[in-house]
Amino acid sequence: MLLQELRTAVLEANLELVKRGLVLYTFGNASGIDREQGLVVIKPSGVDYDDLRPEHMVVTDLNGKIVDGRLKPSSDLDTHTLLYREFPGIGAVVHTHSEYATSFAQAGLPIPPLGTTHADYFCGPIPVTPSLTDEAIGGRYVHETGLAIVNHFRQQGIDPLAVPAVLVAGHAPFCWGKDPHAAAHNAVVLEAVARMAYRTLTLAPGHPGVSRALLDCHYFRKHGTRATYGQTS
């Protein structure tokens, strides 16, 4: 079976979204990429998670052409492949409609860094894209969703490796990571951060968030060449 290890990892990432309560029914999807071969493995469209097996995963090239698999790929495939093309440092993408993160997306609001839990994973606010135009929605909608993400990160000077998540206005979050496990992990943390942010802003409207110094302290102790968190080999 082509890319058996990656298929298994992508399946496990999809099942993790269910386990953590981030998707309902057949909502959501996860994918991963083999950079050496330029091939993407993604969840099939509309298949119940209880029925998914590694062989059900669909393999495509970076332009979305099916290379292996009998099922239709996720309807969000064009967003995934565009992110892989434009963000070459990422190895997996996850899309959910998790409740709190999606609430911020529907409100068109970024998630501000209000505490160190946020800072441990995201080196700044979780950005929200501008709303898509009617023309974009009526055209290649899924492709335009990816363009909105990429253009916003570039225009705002956001490093996608330092902030591995985005809220698509009126829609829902996308997250990414070095591999399917990491992308799913980031999606779980994003939902927890969104939930805490909602509650914090309910208790203290207008909360200014953490200082830049505290944000950087927590982010860089886990990330980068000078990271100190965890065990050394």
CA distances (Å), 181 to each of 13, 40, 120, 134, 150, in order? Answer: 6, 15, 17, 35, 22
First to last CA, the chain: 33
Residue 212 φ then ψ, to 5°: -60, -35
Told to judge if 49 belongs to the known catalytic residues of this protein, a careful annotator would answer no
Told to judge if 121 belongs to the known catalytic residues of this protein, a careful annotator would answer no
DSSP class of residue 30 equals E
Strand locations in 43-164 (E): 58-61, 66-68, 92-95
Cα gap 21→41, rounded to integer Å:
23
Structure tokens at 123: 């080196």
Cα gap 4→7, rounded to integer Å:
5
Name the catalytic one among 120, 179, 198, 216.
Answer: 120
CA quadruple 101, 212, 162, 8: dihedral sign: negative
Cα gap 76→172, rounded to integer Å:
12
Q: Are 78 and 140 in contact (CB under 8 A)?
A: yes
- Closest C-alpha among 207, 189, 213, 184 to residue 120: 189
Known catalytic residues are: 120, 229
